[in-house]
Structure 1
Amino acid sequence: MIAGLIINPIAGMGGRVALKGTDGVVEEAVKRGARPIAEDLTRLFLHELSHYGESQGIRFMTGPDGLGESVLKDFDFRYDVIRHREVGYREVMGVKLPDTRAEDTEELARRMKGDVDILVFAGGDGTARDVFKAVGGELPILGIPTGVKMFSGIFAASPENAARLLVEFLLGNARLVERDVMDLDENAFRHDEVRPRHYGKVLTPYTELLLQGAKEPTKTDEAEDIEATIEALADELEDGVYFLGAGSTIKRLKDMLGIDGTLLGVDIVEVRNGKARLLVRDAAEGDLLRFVNKRPKVIVTVIGGLNFLFGRGNQQFSAEVLRNIPKENIIVVAAPSKVRDGFIRVYTGDSEVDEKLRGYIKVRVSPWMERMVKVV
C-alpha cells in the first residue's frame, strides 16, 4: 500500500495558549509561549505504526522537510519525497518553524492524487479543508489529530488510533464511510462567534472507537432540560475556585453566575458565599497552572458528535494541568443525547494522565440525575 503523509507543522500551536486555532496567529501563539506540536504527534503515530508487522507493507509519499520528511527519516519506513519547492525555515522569537503555507498542502495532495491508496494528514480542520480542496472525494483521507478544533469527522481519536486504523485499512478490516469536512471562521471563533461551514464529504476508513464523529449541536428539545440542570448546579456550587470549560452548556452556567465569561474559552472563577467573581477570562494553560494549588474544581461538558471531554477545542486543559486535578474534582454536565453512545473520550498526549481519567465518570444529565459513563 502507498500512503500519502502531509504534516501541517504549525497545527495546534494555538490550543494551549487560548487562541482556539493557529491560522494567521503563529507569531501571537509563540509570544504567548506556544511551541510546535504537530511533528511530535506525528511521531507518536509512526511509533505506534512501527509496532505492527503489517506496516512493513506501507510505502509513504510525503513532502520535504517539515511537511513530512523530517519526521519519516527518524523511522525505518520506506518513503519518497515530493520536492515541489525548497522549504526554508524562519525564526519567531527564537522558535524555529518551517516556512510552509496552505498552498503546500494543496500542491502535495494534488501531486499524490492517483498515486496513493490513502492520504494521511496531520493537522486540524483547516488542513482537512486544504486537502479536500485538492482531492475532493477522489481518495480516502485520514486525519492525525494535531489541530485545535477538529470538528470534521475524518480524524482518528488519537495519533495512536490513526496508526491502528491505517493498519486495519491495509488488512481490509476497515470499511470506508462518508464523512463531513467542516471548518469554522477562526477569527470569529476567537470572538465567541461560531460560524461553521460544510465543505463537502469524503471517504475515510472506519472501525468502531478508532474514528471520531463530526461535531453536532445540542438538540433543541433538550434546551429546557439543560437550563434546569445548569440552574440546579449553580445553586449547589460550594465556595472555591472553578475552571469553567468551553461550549454553550457551560456558557449558560457562566451567565447564571453573573460573570462575563467566554463561550468558547476556559474561565477561572471564584465562588464565595454564593457570589461568583471572574478571576481570569479566556484562560490559557499557564493561567490554569497558576491556580492548580487552590484545589480547583473543573466543570466541563461533552462535545456532541465527537464525544470528547478533553482533547478537542479545550487544550488549555493540558496533561500538566489535569495531572494536578483529582478526578473527583471534575464535574461533567451534558445533554442526554451527548452521552447516548455510552462512552466519552479523553486524549492529552500523556498516557499516565489519560489512564487516570479512564474508567467511569459521573455525568449530570438532569437536575436530579447523574449517569455513570465510561471514559475511553
Structure 2
Amino acid sequence: MKKFRVGFIVNPIAGMGGRVALKGTDGVVEEAIRRGARPVAPEVARLFLSELKHYEEAESFEFITGPGPLGEEYLNEAGLHFDVIKHREVGYREVEGVKIPDTTAEDTKVLAREMLGKIDILVFAGGDGTARDVYSVVGKRVPILGVPTGVKMFSGVFAASPESAARLLIEVAHGKARLEERDVMDLDEDAFRRDEVRPKHYGKALTPVVELLIQGAKQPQKVDESETLEAIADAVTEEILNEDGIYFLGAGSTIKRVKDRLGINGTLLGVDVVEVKDGKARLLVKDAAEKDLLRFADKNPKIVVTVIGGLNFLFGRGNQQFSAEVLRKIPKENIIVVATPSKVENGIIRVYTGDKDVDEKLRGYIRVRVSPWMEKMVRVL
C-alpha cells in the first residue's frame, strides 16, 4: 500500500450541549458545564483511534494533526505515527471545576489550511459547526470525513459512528470507497434553542462513501405526506390518553403534533416529560435534560420518538438527552416509534448511544407506526 496521509483534527468541546438540552455547544460551553456537561469529543476521538488500531493497515498511516487536545494527545496515546502542526500553544481554563482547552473555530480553520497539499483525506471529530469550518477552508480540494461527536450532525459528511469511521478510513486507503459530493449543513443554534429551525446549506464536500458506514443528510418532511402525518398524530395521541403513565416525548415536527393534540405547551426541538392520568395530559418538565429523564426513569415511562429523515437515526442525533444511562432503564417495548413511510422506506434505522450493551439491546427489529392503522417492522442497526 502506498503512503496514506491523514489529516486529523479534534474539536474538543463538540457535543457538550447535547445531554443538557442546549441543542449545540456554539457559544454556550460555560452554560453547558454549569448544567453538568462534560467533554465528550476526547473520548469519541479515542474510541475512533482505538478501533482503527485493530486494522494492521493503520500502522502505516501517516497522520498530521494539531497540538495537544486538537489531536496530538489522542494519536500519541494510540501509538500511531504522526506529525504536529504547532500553530500555537493551546492553553486551558477551568469552568465550575471542569478543565477545558481554549480552542476556537479558528484553530480548526488554521490547521485545515496548513494540511492542504499534505494529506489524502481530512478526518475531523466534531459536529456540523466543525464540518462547516473545515469545508470553508478545503472546499472540494480534499475529501473530508466526520467522526460524529456533536449534537445535531445534519450534514452528510459523517460516518454512522466512530467505529464506522475507522472502517471507512481503511476502505478509503484500499481504494474501495467511492467519493460523493455530500451536503454540509448547519443550524442557527440560537434559533434552534428557541424552537426555530433555520438550516443553512453551506455547500457540497467530497466525502468517501461505503453503504451502511456513512449517514445521510437531514431531509425535510415530504409535503404529500402531511395528511398521513396528521392522521398518525391523531391515532398516537388517542392511544397515549387511554393509558395512564409517564411519557418522554421526543423532538421533531412529528412528535410536536402529538404534543399539541395533548394540549401541552411542549417543545418542537426538545424532549418533554408528560404525565397522563384519567385521560388528561400534564406537562411535568419542558425541554428536559438527561438528568430530568433519569428522575423519572424508574417510573416505567414510555418514550415516543420519530426517525430523523435522511439521517435515519432514532437515537444518537439531535436527542442525546436519551443517553445510554436513560435508555438502559427503559424496556425496548416501551419505545413507541412513529414515522411517515418515506422515513423508513429503506427498511433500516440507526441507533448510537456510545454504549455497546445499550445499542445491542435496541438492535434487531422495532415496530414503527407508519399510518393510523399500520405498523412496519424495521431493522435497527
- Fold-level similarity (TM above 0.5): yes
- Tell me how far apart the structure 2 counterparts of residues 36 and 233 of structure 1 sit (CA, whole Å): 37
Corresponding residue of 2:315? 310
Corresponding residue of 2:266? 261
Q: Are 2:300 and 1:280 equivalent residues in the alignment?
A: no
Corresponding residue of 1:175? 178
Cα distance per residue 1:285-314 (max 9 Å; x no partner) = 000000011100000000000000000000
Corresponding residue of 1:336? 341
Corresponding residue of 1:149? 152
Shift in Å, 1:259: 0.3
Question: What are the residue-to-residue correspondences of 1:361-376 with 2, within 5 Å?
Answer: 361-376=366-381
Q: Are 2:122 and 1:119 equivalent residues in the alignment?
A: yes
Q: Which amino acid aligns with 2:72?
A: E
29-38 or 50-59, larger mean C-alpha shift: 50-59
Q: Are 2:296 and 1:291 equivalent residues in the alignment?
A: yes
Question: What are the residue-to-residue correspondences of 1:65-144 with 2, within 5 Å?
Answer: 65-144=68-147
- Tell me how far apart the structure 2 counterparts of residues 39 and 170 of structure 1 sit (CA, whole Å): 24
- Tell me how far apart the structure 1 counterparts of residues 5 and 41 of structure 2 sit (CA, whole Å): 22
Q: Are 2:258 and 1:241 equivalent residues in the alignment?
A: no
Pick aligned residue for 2:56 from 42, 53, 57: 53
Cα distance per residue 1:18-62 (max 9 Å; x no partner) = 000000000000000000010100111001000001112211100
Cα distance per residue 1:126-156 (max 9 Å; x no partner) = 0000001111111000000000000000000
3-state secondary structure, aligned to 2:165: helix
Corresponding residue of 2:220? 217
Structure 1 residue runs without a partner (length 5+): none
3-state secondary structure, aligned to 2:202: strand
Cα distance per residue 1:55-101 (max 9 Å; x no partner) = 12211100001100111110121000000011101101110001100
Cα root mean square deviation, aligned: 0.5
- Tell me how far apart the structure 2 counterparts of residues 146 and 233 of structure 1 sit (CA, whole Å): 32
- Tell me how far apart the structure 1 counterparts of residues 246 and 62 of structure 2 sit (CA, whole Å): 51
Q: Which amino acid aligns with 1:209?
A: L
3-state secondary structure, aligned to 1:261: coil
Q: Which amino acid aligns with 2:47?
A: L
- Tell me how far apart the structure 1 counterparts of residues 315 and 237 of structure 2 sit (CA, whole Å): 22
3-state secondary structure, aligned to 1:120: strand
Identity of aligned residues (%): 73
Shift in Å, 1:248: 0.3
Q: Are 2:328 and 1:320 equivalent residues in the alignment?
A: no
Please identify runs of 4+ aligned residues in structure 1 that moved more than 3 A. none
Corresponding residue of 2:28? 25
Q: Which amino acid aligns with 1:309?
A: L
- Tell me how far apart the structure 2 counterparts of residues 20 and 70 of structure 1 sit (CA, whole Å): 28
- Tell me how far apart the structure 2 counterparts of residues 253 and 316 of structure 1 sit (CA, whole Å): 19
- Tell me how far apart the structure 1 counterparts of residues 54 and 48 of structure 2 sit (CA, whole Å): 10
Q: Which amino acid aligns with 1:257?
A: L
- Tell me how far apart the structure 2 counterparts of residues 175 and 229 of structure 1 sit (CA, whole Å): 38
Q: Are 2:350 and 1:345 equivalent residues in the alignment?
A: yes
TM-score by length of 1: 1.00
3-state secondary structure, aligned to 1:74: helix
Q: Are 2:232 and 1:229 equivalent residues in the alignment?
A: yes
Structure 2 residue runs without a partner (length 5+): none
3-state secondary structure, aligned to 2:77: coil
Q: Which amino acid aligns with 2:188?
A: D
TM-score by length of 2: 0.98
